[in-house]
Structure 1
Amino acid sequence: MIGTAELRKDREIYGNGREEIGKVRYCPKQNRSVSRRDFLKSSAAATALAAMLPAQVKRACAKSKSIDEFVNYDALGMAELIKTGEISQIEAVDITIRRIEAIEPLINAITTPTFERAYEKAETISKNSTFAGMPILIKDMIDVGGVRRTDGSRMMLTNIPKENVKYIDGIEAAGMNIIGMTNVPEFAQLGIATNNTAFGLTKNPWDLSKSTLGSSGGAGAAVASGMVPLAHGTDGGGSNRLPPCTQGVFGIKPSKARMLPGEAGGAHGPFKTNQAICRTVRDSAALFSHTEDPDGPFPAIGLVERPSKTRLKIGYAASIKGGAKVEYAVRSAQENVVELIKNLGHEVVEIDIPVTQDEFFINFNGAFLGQFGALTERAKAITGMSAAQSGLLDPFTVNLIEYGASITPEQQAAGLAYLSTVPNLYAKTFEQVDLILSPVMPLVSLPGDTLTPTTKVNEATLAILENNLGYTASVNVSGHCAMSVPLNWDPESGMPIGSMFQAATGNDRMLYELAFELEAARPWKDRWAPYSIKNIPV
């Protein structure tokens, strides 16, 4: 097993007992005695591997020790090692910290590490719990008691909630140990990039020049790079589907109000749901079973463990009316999935997505862009100045507030009236088919600087956002469930291309059963990004 002294040797020690690797800081646990296991593989193998990797990876390898012995384990697999005594709960924390220290300087996925909290919690977690003390990263848009929640904003850097929301209680009851918070766009508004002036840009482990998308971009990058096999995410417009799509991992948006409340006071967000981004379907399904709301509108589905023998009628929508042109590689990937699901015995028919993108966003923006004026009042309360003068908000957010201020009450009323019809539009479609298959987004990927915290908000900016949220956002308004499944990689760029499956409200089990079937037919767990623990010794 890993000896604490050996784990931390060769690291630069700073004053007052704090260590720093990149921008991640934590306090080492004193007098921690952990027996040693054969954790390291040969340094010669690591050196040989490093010679074949990109330049930034080579630099990381030069400072590192060995390939991670546990690279191929998912969260449940690691939990089993804890339960059988092959590793301890403290070691699980040590292993995760080692990974974070190796990868984080390249990826920039974490806003607040909670390493000491994780050490303190580790041995209090029952080994009989499902995850037995496995570390998890939490998206920085939910209340964890005693842990800073920033929503990616300088305005929130001193915000420390006093108590967990119920969803976090469910995560901890499942035996997961919170080890940090992941980066998000400021108040999730940048949408297609996880970037802010408080913490900077999170980079895509498949190509550091590409966007992680958002707003669960930090969570997706943490999983794709192997920091953790499972990370929490929220989805209010595509946030648990867009980052997995472009980072080659699995993400799901549950039905509205299916999960334990993620808002203070026990409320459910109007569109936002909580769930995980994972390397394996079984990890996601296991966490799902612990975080369903027993007081919600649906009977609990419990633990889904395998595919269904039922064959489905799946409607394939190649594009969305009023949306951007779908890139050839994305269309080819979805057509490939059509053939896959046909070969699995499912019926496929062509259908239309029941909303038109341009009409949807005219009304969505009319209904909700005006709400960001509340941030102006918060900035004034803190500084006595306007949002723009306060320096507490990114220029993009300030522009969004100003843009939203031009929306009239009539536009807002018309927008709300239209959005109230969206659930029924989808319900009618699900009377014809069991599931909808479509792209997650029309493009394979986007440059990381497509939008930045200083981008001006105008019609062109909104068009970029809308084109890449066109397939996902209406799902949140409808309230039904959807998932992004990593079934293809672009042969030219090597980037992942996800496929989105949607099911009627409450039919979350159907999605999980199909996900298990697709995972068995075309496994993705062992497809690793270049900038990941598979390639970078830790």
Structure 2
Amino acid sequence: MAFSRRSFMKSSVATVASTIVAGRPSSVFAHPRTTDEFVDYDALGMANLIKSGDITAREALEITIRRIEAMEPIINVINTRTYERAFDKAATIPTDTVFAGMPVLIKDMVDVGGVRRSDGSRMMLTNIPKENVKYIDGVEAAGMNIVGMTNVPEFAQLGIITNNKAFGLSRNPWDLSLSTLGSSGGSGAAVAAGIVPLAHGTDGGGSNRLPSNAQGIFGMKPSRARMLSGEAGGSHSPVKTNQSLSRTVRDSAALFVHTEDPNGPFKPIGLITGPSTRRLRIGFARTIRGGMAIEAPVSAAQENTAQLLRDLGHEVVEAEIPVFHDEFFRNYNGAFLGQFSVFNDQALAISGVEAADSGLLDPFTASLIAYGAGTPDDVAAAGLDYLATVPVAYAELFSKIDILLSPVMPFLSIKGDTITPETLVNESVLALIQHTLSFTVSANVSGHCAMSVPLNWDPESGLPIGSMFQAAAGNDGMLYELAFELEQSRPWKDKWAPYSVKYIPI
């Protein structure tokens, strides 16, 4: 039997009422489950329904809660539910804001006032920031309603698998045996599963692009310091930026307007609404020097993307990523691995014993701390000196091309149990992580903008394969214009994962 919009909403209200017991969700399966007729709407589409009075912000929230409760037992992507806070907010969000009360999920690595921030760690389970960071202020000013916090690897360190001992493994909606990638893996899976059409993520080494690549959605890493600060105190991370993972480009572009810093180093790009007529010179890097061989499906997908660009009238030329894999990671590790001792200091302050013995940190994190503790000061200094040359190398590359095209990662997929929170760090574990990050992380060191766009699906497995596009620092608008053009030429919004609310009643 087909449900009308209002009959769906009536069922939704009854079901959601049953899920809120003393502020905690109970089973949603006491009421009949039905097909979600709103699943094909993106965030702006749902916001238009709210603005027109077809639904209310509260009803949009109720729909999202039903989706969470139906999908969580399958994919496990929510660390903290903020239902009561969201119901209070739904009554106050003006309908003339851009998103008019649309629910959003926030990655569990940023401060939201009054909401637990765990960073995926048992050590942080009682950490409740008092106030929003500026980026979250921008998200809420845009009319988004925070309904929960998404799963992450502990302190983002187990970066290619979203798993931790505090909350467990997040599963990829395209294949539950596969990794969501990370560290914004919980956010990516929530979008791919249709829980929300847009979720927040942070990208410190590929964390928005890798999950988007693995889950058939759009992921953006803005230029360094382009966005409102995501750090307490208003500073900017030297490598990490905040933005979103989404089903459509327009949702991401609309949020971008309200979360970019008007006082930052770049002139705000404003609202990008479609493609540019400008034809671009696009450099195509098929591999990275010194890296592992690219798997055949990934290579074929990038060749297909390059041909699409030619068909659209862009000039595609040969290019090389301006770093050598081994040299880059040797210096990257030298510069950063020793800094993980801060987590050991926190564990020691709380428990009185070292991280490995405290029971507060996952064995992976504790072993990473121990591994990095032996980094000599001269190695760390040499690493920082080398990393300072990376922005210069990319600036020279972007003086010759407008955009750089490459794979997002060399693999088609990674099994979810390839590395676990119990895994102890050694050379081979680090090598796997580094190969996975080989195409993405140098953009974070350089500070320029990059995005993953879902343009191909493997014909054998059916898995999505993203293509990464990078542009010079400050050229975020150019990336959005290209993303709109690619989305129009090869739409992906209606390509749904098997384990999503498109196919699973809520």
When the two structures are superposed, what TM-score results if normalisation uses the length of structure 1? 0.91
**Corresponding residue of 2:88:** 120
Kindly provide the CA deviation profile for residues 293-330 of structure 1, in whole angstroms up to 9, marking residues without a partner as x: 01100000110001000000000000001111100000
* CA distance in structure 1 between the aligned counterparts of 2:370 and 2:256, rounded to whole angstroms: 39
- Does 2:270 align with 1:297? no
| Separation of aligned partners in 2, 1:279 and 1:382 | 41
Matched, 1:453 2:459: no
Q: Is the 8 A contact 1:252 1:484 kept in 2?
A: yes
Residue 20 (structure 1) aligned to one of 26, 35, 45: 26
Kept in 1, the 8 Å contact 2:284–2:316? The answer is yes
Alignment match of 1:416 (pick from 384, 388, 397): 384
1:314/1:181 CA distance change after superposition, 3 Å: same
Check whether the contact 2:226–2:474 (CA below 8 A) recurs between aligned residues.
yes
Residue in structure 1 matching 2:13, options 4, 7, 16: 7
| In the alignment, structure 1 residue 233 sits paired with structure 2 residue 239 | no
Name the structure 2 match of 1:488: 456
User: Which of 427, 431, 437 is the matching residue for 2:395?
Assistant: 427
Q: How does 1:3-82 map to 2 (within 5 A)?
A: 7-9=13-15, 16=22, 18-21=24-27, 65-82=33-50
Determine the C-alpha separation between the residues in 2 that align with 1:247 and 1:11.
31
Deviation for aligned residue 1:383? 1.1
Hey, what's the Cα distance between the residues in 2 that align with 1:498 and 1:63? 38
Would the alpha carbon gap of residues 439 and 67 (structure 1) be closer, same or farther in structure 2, given more than 3 Å must change? same
The answer to whether the 8 Å contact 1:64/1:537 transfers is: no
Question: Does the aligned pair in 2 maintain the 1:111–1:180 contact within 8 Å?
Answer: yes
1:406 aligns with 2:374: yes
| CA 1:16–1:511: 2 relative to 1, 3 Å | closer
Aligned pairs (5 A) from 1:147-166 = 147-166=115-134
Q: Do the aligned residues in 1 keep the contact of 2:174 with 2:463 (CA within 8 Å)? A: yes
Tell me how far 1:340 sits from its aligned partner.
Answer: 0.3
The whole-number CA distance in structure 1 between the counterparts of 2:21 and 2:239 is 45
Distance between the aligned counterparts of 1:6 and 1:64, measured in 2? 10
Distance in 2, Cα, partners of 1:304 & 1:14: 39
Cα-to-partner distance string for 1:35-87 (whole Å, 9 max, x where unaligned): xxxxxxxxxxxxxxxxxxxxxxxxx9x98521101011000000000000000
Match of residue 507 from structure 1: 475
For structure 1, which runs of at least 5 residues remain unmatched after alignment? 23-59
Partner of 1:38: none
Structure 2 unmatched ranges of 5 or more: 1-5
Quick one: structure 1 residues 413 and 256, their matched pair in 2 at CA, closer, same or farther if it must change by over 3 Å?
A: same
Give the one of 112, 135, 140 matched to 1:144: 112
Give the aligned residue type for 1:511: L
Counterpart contact for 1:224–1:279, Cα < 8 Å: yes
Supply the distance in 2 between the matched residues of 1:127 and 1:388 (Cα, whole angstroms): 50
In the TM superposition, what are the counterparts of 1:322-361 in structure 2 within 5 Å? Answer: 322-361=290-329
Whether 1:385 aligns to 2:391 is: no
Whether 1:468 aligns to 2:436 is yes
Q: State the alpha-carbon separation in 2 of the partners of residues 375 and 10 from structure 1.
A: 39
Partner of 1:212: 180
> Following TM superposition, where does structure 1 have runs of at least 4 consecutive aligned residues deviating by more than 3 angstroms?
1-19
CA contact (8 A) 2:335 2:380 kept: yes
Q: Which residue of 2 aligns with 1:43?
A: none
Give a deviation string over 1:441-484, Cα, whole Å, max 9, x none.
Answer: 00110000111101110000000000000000000000000000
Tell me the secondary structure at the aligned position of residue 233 of structure 2: helix
Residues 225 and 16 from structure 1, CA distance in 2 versus in 1: closer, same or farther, beyond 3 angstroms?
closer
In structure 1, the residue matched to 2:3 is none
Matches for 1:264-283 after TM superposition, within 5 Å: 264-283=232-251
Cα pair distance change 1:120/1:357, threshold 3 Å = same
The answer to whether the 8 A contact 2:104-2:198 is kept is yes
Output the CA distance in 2 between the equivalents of 1:297 and 1:502: 19
Task: Give the SS at the match of 1:498.
Answer: strand
Structure-2 separation of matches of 1:206 and 1:163: 36
Amino acid across the alignment from 1:509: G
* Matching residue's letter, 1:435: I
1:318 and 2:314 equivalent? no
Q: How does 1:238-257 map to 2 (within 5 A)?
A: 238-257=206-225
What is the distance in 1 between the residues matched to 2:19 and 2:336? Answer: 48
Number of equivalenced pairs: 500
1:167 equivalent in structure 2: 135
1:10 positional shift: 10
SS in 1 for 2:202: strand
| Counterpart in the other structure of 2:490 | 522
3-state SS in 1 of match to 2:270: coil
The question of whether the paired residues in 1 share the 8 Å contact of 2:13 and 2:59 is answered with no
Distance 1:413 1:13, change over 3 A: closer
User: How far apart, in 2, do the equivalents of 1:179 and 1:13 lie?
Assistant: 14
What is the alpha-carbon distance in structure 1 between the residues aligned to residue 315 and residue 9 of structure 2? 55
Is the CA contact 1:223–1:279 (under 8 Å) kept in the aligned structure 2?
A: yes
Aligned position for 1:187: 155
Q: Percent identity among equivalent residues?
A: 67
Query: What do the CA deviations read for 1:141-196 (whole angstroms, capped 9, x no partner)?
Result: 00000000000000000000000000000000000000000000000000110000
CA contact (8 A) 1:64 1:102 kept: no
C-alpha change, 1:144 and 1:452, in structure 2 (3 Å) is same
**Residue 477 to residue 396, structure 1, CA distance change in 2 (3 Å):** same
1:279, distance to aligned residue in structure 2 (A): 0.2
Q: Which amino acid aligns with 1:392?
A: L
Amino acid at match of 2:204: G
User: Which SS does the other structure have where 1:210 is aligned?
Assistant: coil
Task: State how far apart, in whole Å, the 1-side matches of 2:31 and 2:493 are.
Answer: 27
Q: Distance in 1 between matches of 2:14 and 2:34?
A: 14
Query: Which secondary structure state, in structure 1, belongs to the residue aligned with residue 331 of structure 2?
Result: helix
- Alignment check: 8 A CA contact 1:234 1:274 kept: yes
Q: In 2, Cα distance between the equivalents of 1:511 and 1:9?
A: 41
**Does 2:60 correspond to 1:92?**
yes
The one-letter amino acid of 1:424's match is V
Q: Distance in 1 between matches of 2:117 and 2:12?
A: 33
Q: Post-superposition shift, 1:278?
A: 0.3
- Alpha-carbon distance in structure 2 between the residues aligned to 1:112 and 1:187: 16
Superimposed CA distance per residue, residues 104-157 of structure 1 (whole angstroms, 9 cap, x where no aligned partner): 110000000101110000010010000000000000000000000000000000
Q: How far apart are the structure 1 equivalents of 2:60 and 2:478? A: 33
Pick closer, same or farther for the CA change 1:250–1:17 going to 2, 3 Å.
closer
Mapping of residues 432-447 of structure 1, within 5 Å: 432-447=400-415
User: Counterparts of 2:148 and 2:430 in 1: how far apart (Å)?
Assistant: 32
- Root-mean-square deviation (Å): 1.6
